[in-house]
Amino acid sequence: MDNFVINGGHELFGEVSISGAKNAAVAIIPAAILADDVVRIENIPQISDVQLIIEILDRMGADIKLVNKNTLDIDTSNINYQSVPYELTSHFRASYYLIGAMLGRFNQAEVAMPGGCNFGVRPIDQHIKGFEMLGADVDIVDGMVCAKADKLMGTSIYMDVVSVGATINIMLAAVKARGLTIIENAAKEPHIVDLANFLNSMGADVRGAGTDVIKIRGVEKMHGCTYSIIPDQIEAGTYMVATAACGGDVLIKNVIPKHLESISAKLEEAGAEVIEYDDAVRVTRFKALNKCNVKTMPHPGFPTDMQPQMAVLLSIANGTSILSESVWDNRFQYVGQLLRMGADIQVDGKVAVIVGVPKLAGVSVKATDLRAGAAMIIAGLVAEGTTTVEDIVYVDRGYEDIVEKLSALGADIKRVSVNDDNAVQTAG
Ligand code: EPU
């Protein structure tokens, strides 16, 4: 078990390079099942969610070769159809992409209901609706999602809610269905476009990704390809907010600035300066932070996955900010931890009222989920004194080399391992 120990109060300066996108990688890697051929995937982030999906493909018999730290060759030509048990799906949400990918490849799938961060009820009714409309019978038996089709047939599917996961899962199942599938009210997140580009590189015919209507004309066979995953919008946003919260001047490299516009706009409103380059953004902040109101929304709105990090920044801004969560029912669980650091936040349902305080104080806090963990790190960086962040397995799910990247910017952060007898040792 590891903790992060942070001595706060340092401004951040320098350059940081952003890794490949977690939420694209966890869709693209299982999509490799659809081509019974070798695919080379580059810019894969080294994070635990990715390791889990690779482990599942490995157990299915895929031949996976590490080309370098962030590149894999995946050959799924000899994989076997098999059910995926809960012990493999319980730790991450995206395990449900195996349902769409296996339906596409084998016309059947049996995958345990997924785990993942807990933001309240996380239904998968829209995924199931999509699979059924494509012609699959879907049952949930003893916690397993069992889907089977004689053949998948293209059709028109209207999504009742805008869902990233359901849009991706339906795309995975539909690329080899017969005829045309139209997904209406589709999610538009950057990783949806990235998955579509990957599928098209393997010979699929997917158009319209990034708009709310995606058209997929089924193809019989898909082939190998070489593909590089896009940079992680949320990792980039996390370093942007960290810089604005701590003060300083950081060049955030290997990003797509267009994906960061909603975050840049709010940081500028709060008193930071954001300069866009072709594939980098520079964030500087030397004056006091101002209040601003933020509402999370599906892309291109302000991402829910940046909401906890933004709450930390607003906690030390002048004035009172309103932070509204419109995607998840219960994404303010981390607020109790910030209160312990001296923040002044009141939560009423899906709205948090944040009254800025002059400073936060270092204490021991828990990462209640992945992005909450990132928020606790930022809180530790701005706080006076020492902050210990516990339960950092969540952070390891989504941030590659976070200690190394922050240390290079001048932060005082260490990963320490905690023995059973509670002695603390440095783990590098
Ligand atoms: N929803 C339904 N029915 C469904 C699916 C979703 O009602 O069948 C609802 C959800 O309850 C939620 C809303 O629709 O209120 C949006 O959920 P969505 O399906 O878009 O979320 P997801 O696919 O489960 C992905 C990311 C999350 C991110 C959300 C929203 C992955 C692996 N996860 O989750 O990322 O918060 O989209 O952008 O892509 C994270 O990276 O920390 C993370 C949690």
Question: Which token pair is 324?
Answer: 């509204």
Substitution candidate for ligand 1 out of 98, 121, 122 with most atoms within 8 A of CB: 122
Pick the CATH number of 22-228 from 3.40.50.2300, 1.25.40.10, 3.90.1150.10, 3.65.10.10: 3.65.10.10
Residue 117: predicted pLDDT: 67
Task: Please tell me the distance from the alpha carbon of residue 210 to that of residue 191, in angstroms, as a whole number.
Answer: 9
Domain with CATH 3.65.10.10 in the chain: 2-19+231-426, 22-228
pTM above 0.85, yes or no: yes
Contact in structure between 140 and 125 (CB atoms under 8 Å): no
- Nearest-5° angle of CA 399, CA 402, CA 405? 130
Contact in structure between 237 and 50 (CB atoms under 8 Å): no
Task: Please tell me the distance from the alpha carbon of residue 222 to that of residue 64, in angstroms, as a whole number.
Answer: 18
Residue 423: predicted pLDDT: 42
Q: Residue 22 class from Cβ within 10 Å (0-12 exposed, 13-18 middle, 19+ buried)?
A: buried
Residue 142: predicted pLDDT: 87
Residue 116: predicted pLDDT: 64
Nearest CA to ligand 1 atom 16: 163
Residue 279: predicted pLDDT: 98
**Which atom of ligand 1 is closest in space to residue 370's alpha carbon?**
42
Calculate how far, in angstroms, residue 299's C-alpha sits from the geometric centre of ligand 1.
Answer: 12
SS3 255: coil
Calculate how far, in angstroms, residue 124's C-alpha sits from the geometric centre of ligand 1.
Answer: 9
**Which atom of ligand 1 is closest in space to residue 398's alpha carbon?**
41
Which one, of 395, 360, 378, 358, lies nearest residue 245 by Cα? 378
Contact in structure between 177 and 154 (CB atoms under 8 Å): yes
Residue 115: predicted pLDDT: 72
Fold adopted by 2-19+231-426: UDP-n-acetylglucosamine1-carboxyvinyl-transferase; Chain (3.65.10)
Task: Please tell me the distance from the alpha carbon of residue 371 to that of residue 391, in angstroms, as a whole number.
Answer: 12
146 assigned to active site: no
Residue 427: predicted pLDDT: 36
Residue 425: predicted pLDDT: 38
User: CA 127 from chain center: how many Å?
Assistant: 18
For the stretch 193-249, pLDDT in tens is: 999 999 999 999 999 999 999 999 999 999 999 999 999 999 999 999 999 999 999
Which one, of 58, 54, 55, 56, lies nearest residue 41 by Cα? 54
Contact in structure between 187 and 162 (CB atoms under 8 Å): yes
Q: Which residues of 270-290 are buried (b: 16+ CB within 10 A; e: fewer)?
A: bbbebeeeeebbbbbbeeebe
Task: Please tell me the distance from the alpha carbon of residue 238 to that of residue 12, in angstroms, as a whole number.
Answer: 13
Sign of CA dihedral 145, 150, 151, 153: negative
How many beta carbons lie within 10 A of that of residue 69, not counting itself? Answer: 8
Query: What residues pair up with 332 in beta bridges, in sequence order?
Result: none
Question: Which token pair is 411?
Answer: 């932060």
Substitution candidate for ligand 1 out of 163, 168, 333, 400 with most atoms within 8 A of CB: 163
Helix H or strand E segment including 340: helix 335-340
For the stretch 128-151, pLDDT in tens is: 999 999 999 999 998 899 999 999
Q: Which of 117, 225, 246, 292 is catalytic?
A: 117
Residue 426: predicted pLDDT: 36
Query: What residues pair up with 249 in beta bridges, in sequence order?
Result: 13, 284
Return phi, psi of residue 119, to 5°: -115, 30
Residue 277: predicted pLDDT: 98
Lining ligand 1 with CB less than 6 A are 23, 26, 93-94, 117, 122-127, 161, 163-166, 187, 304-305, 327-328, 370-371, 398
Query: What residues pair up with 12 in beta bridges, in sequence order?
Result: 248
| CB-side neighbour CA atoms (13 Å) of 423 | 3
| CB-side neighbour CA atoms (13 Å) of 370 | 23
pLDDT in tens, the chain (428 residues): 899 999 999 999 999 999 999 999 999 999 999 998 999 999 999 999 999 999 999 999 999 999 999 999 999 999 988 888 888 888 788 889 999 999 999 999 999 888 766 776 788 999 999 999 999 999 999 889 999 999 999 999 999 999 999 999 999 999 999 999 999 999 999 999 999 999 999 999 999 999 999 999 999 999 999 999 999 999 999 999 999 999 999 999 999 999 999 999 999 999 999 999 999 999 999 999 999 999 999 999 999 999 999 999 999 999 999 999 999 999 999 999 999 999 999 999 999 999 999 999 999 999 999 999 999 999 999 999 999 999 999 999 999 999 999 999 999 999 999 875 444 333 33
Return phi, psi of residue 88, to 5°: -95, -20
Contact in structure between 377 and 2 (CB atoms under 8 Å): no
Contact in structure between 96 and 165 (CB atoms under 8 Å): yes
Which one, of 392, 384, 382, 383, lies nearest residue 414 by Cα? 392
Nearest CA to ligand 1 atom 37: 164
Non-local CB neighbours of 254 within 8 Å, separated by 6+ positions: 17, 18, 231, 279, 280
Calculate how far, in angstroms, residue 328's C-alpha sits from the geometric centre of ligand 1.
Answer: 8
Which one, of 234, 293, 305, 242, lies nearest residue 265 by Cα? 293
Calculate how far, in angstroms, residue 163's C-alpha sits from the geometric centre of ligand 1.
Answer: 6
Pairing type for strands 180-184 and 205-207 reads: unpaired
Nearest CA to ligand 1 atom 23: 165
Residue 84: predicted pLDDT: 86
